[in-house]
Amino acid sequence: MNSLLLLNGSPRGERSNSIKMLERIAEGWRRKGGTVEALHLARRDQFARAVTAFAEAETVLLGMPLYTDAMPAVVKEYIEALMPRVAAAKAGLRNPTLGFLVQSGFPEARHSRPVVRYLEKLAARLGSRYAGTIVRGGGGALEWMPEQANKKLWQQLRVLGEQLARDGQFGAAELKAIAGRERLGPLTVMLATLACKLPLTQSMWNKMLKENGVWERRFDAPYGPAFRP
């Protein structure tokens, strides 16, 4: 395999943690002599190209953050735009090998498992060979961690890129290693709960609310009793 279409499904585009991880996978791919085209779905000038490039690529890797329990809206929009390729697959036309990267701020890998099952079904519906889904929790920490602290993760991602180029899929053992803890133990959960109540943690969330202009709306409850039919 030579051509890899790298799709960043994060609304944050070039500033996202998703693209940081995808770029390391691309480095591994290039080590095997392949070429890479990287596009950001959040950039409207690149969205149309991402749709047409899907049919042209040999392999597609779609990476995204998982926000609580939902993939970004721009990823959903992209999937809907690919639906004509379902009919093409039924007509016997080729669709590329399809792999995914799902990263979230939640540390437990199991948090991403429902969307992994959906993505596997999506690949089957498109008639694409399923390369596997990379799951990585704690992705939010990549933004402030020093580069040296991510050295092991970057190397794991490069290895997965090499595997994708060589075998057309990710290795099961490597996927398990990069996913980390499937579920946190009771003690860890208790400590994390306490940590979330500390002033330092609260100040971090408050800072984010203010930076995004929603500080005054922090107590909104759009799905509260008053809004139910």
Give the model confidence (pLDDT) of 87-120 as tens digits. Answer: 888 888 889 999 999 999 888 899 999 999 999 9
Ranges 70-79, 148-157, 181-190: which has the least confidence: 181-190
Dihedral over alpha carbons 150, 27, 106, 66 (to 10 degrees): 160
- What integer best gives the mean pLDDT of the chain? 90
pLDDT band at 229 (very low <50, low <70, confident <90, very high): very low
Residue with tokens 């007509």: 91
Return the pLDDT at 200: 81
Residue 78 has pLDDT above 90, yes or no: yes
The CATH architecture to which 3-179 belongs is: 3-Layer(aba) Sandwich (3.40)
pLDDT band at 156 (very low <50, low <70, confident <90, very high): very high
Dihedral over alpha carbons 116, 121, 125, 126 (to 10 degrees): 20
Percentage of the chain modeled with pLDDT above 90: 61
Stretch 135-157: mean pLDDT: 84
Residues, the chain = 229
Please say whether the beta carbons of 39 and 6 come within 8 A: yes
Return the pLDDT at 49: 96
Domains of the chain by residue range: 3-179, 186-227
Ranges 64-78, 89-103, 130-144: which has the least confidence: 130-144
More confident site: 9 or 145: 9
What pTM does this model have?
A: 0.86
- Partners of 37 in the β-ladder: 5
